[in-house]
């Protein structure tokens, strides 16, 4: 599988200046409101929250240079694109902030937990439930640390997304399991071997510690949430493609649809439409 190339602003400028304008795609994955405030000339806007519905609008034969505000969402988008068969994917390190000479963060690469693709549908659901639970707990923790009612409300709304997703996972489990456990037994089983990972295998606290200041305000929290949800979507889509049974593939595809829906909701929050 191809790797994602990390480009500094100087490398990206050299690449763009040495290429014909129609020979590559410069992709801005921020929200529309961010794009309207400022963007790199020639960039095509395709927000991360909408990207999964528009893969077919992008030419796989052309190199892609992806950017966002600080490099996190663009890295998540690059992973999604790579997983869909785009072979020449490049991420602008530090995003438009570094492009414009402002303080920038290094490459924000998210980890991915390993699934073999051989797990049965029930095992997949149990693992997904555990990951959803960790992210929900993280949001609740951030709400406890918040200093304003606005921020408390924001974190609790995000926690609510994960709570609803857990309900979906348990309902799905009751449809496919031969012997159905109660919700309490199901949760205990799911969390018994849970690690400190969020959806898609992202160690949220560790990730935030590596980039202090990047996700402190409300927009930053939503950026992080969109990155994690996109990571999980990418993860489930990849697992669906390599699943060894139809039942396992169906579960991964359903989980991917759920993640895509969550990603869209977060995008609306970022635009102030929720």
pLDDT in tens, 27-52: 999 999 999 999 999 999 999 999 99
Q: Which residues pair with 66 in a beta bridge?
A: 27, 91
From first to last of its 274 residues, the chain has per-residue pLDDT tens of 578 999 999 999 999 999 999 999 999 999 999 999 999 999 999 999 999 999 999 999 999 999 999 898 999 999 999 999 999 999 999 999 999 986 555 555 655 555 666 778 888 888 888 888 888 888 898 899 888 898 898 889 889 988 989 999 999 899 888 899 999 999 999 988 666 566 666 567 777 777 767 777 777 888 888 988 898 898 889 888 887 788 888 888 998 998 899 899 889 888 876 6
CATH architecture type of domain 121-270: Up-down Bundle (1.20)
User: What pLDDT does residue 51 have?
Assistant: 97
User: What pLDDT does residue 196 have?
Assistant: 56
CATH superfamily placement of domain 5-99? Rhodanese-like domain (3.40.250.10)
- Considering the entire predicted model, what is its pTM? 0.83
User: What pLDDT does residue 119 have?
Assistant: 76
User: What pLDDT does residue 17 have?
Assistant: 96
User: What pLDDT does residue 92 have?
Assistant: 96
User: What pLDDT does residue 95 have?
Assistant: 93
User: What pLDDT does residue 243 have?
Assistant: 79
| Domain layout of the chain by residue ranges | 5-99, 121-270
């Amino acid at each position: 599988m191809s790797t994602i190339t990390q480009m500094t602003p100087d490398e990206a400028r050299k690449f763009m200046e040495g290429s014909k304008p129609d020979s590559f795609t410069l992709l801005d994955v921020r929200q529309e409101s961010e794009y309207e405030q400022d963007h790199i000339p020639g960039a095509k806007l395709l927000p991360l929250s909408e990207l999964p519905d528009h893969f077919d609008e992008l030419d796989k034969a052309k190199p892609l240079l992806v950017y966002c505000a600080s490099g996190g969402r663009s890295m998540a988008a690059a992973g999604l694109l790579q997983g869909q068969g785009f072979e020449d994917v490049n991420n602008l390190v530090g995003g438009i902030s570094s492009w414009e000479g402002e303080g920038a963060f290094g490459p924000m690469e998210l980890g991915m937990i390993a699934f073999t693709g051989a797990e049965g549908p029930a095992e997949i659901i149990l693992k997904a439930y555990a990951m959803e639970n960790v992210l929900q707990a993280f949001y609740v923790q951030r709400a406890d640390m918040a200093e304003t009612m606005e921020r408390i409300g924001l974190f609790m709304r995000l926690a609510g997304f994960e709570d609803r997703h857990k309900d979906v996972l348990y309902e799905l489990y009751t449809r496919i399991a031969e012997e159905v456990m109660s919700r309490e037994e199901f949760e205990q089983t799911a969390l018994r071997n849970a690690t400190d990972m969020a959806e898609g295998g992202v160690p949220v606290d560790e990730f935030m510690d590596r980039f202090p200041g990047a996700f402190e305000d409300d927009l930053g929290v939503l950026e992080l949430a969109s990155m994690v949800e996109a990571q999980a979507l990418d993860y489930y889509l990849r697992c669906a493609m390599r699943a060894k049974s139809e039942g396992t593939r169906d579960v991964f595809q359903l989980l991917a649809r759920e993640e895509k829906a969550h990603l869209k909701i977060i995008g609306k929050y970022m635009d102030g439409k929720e």
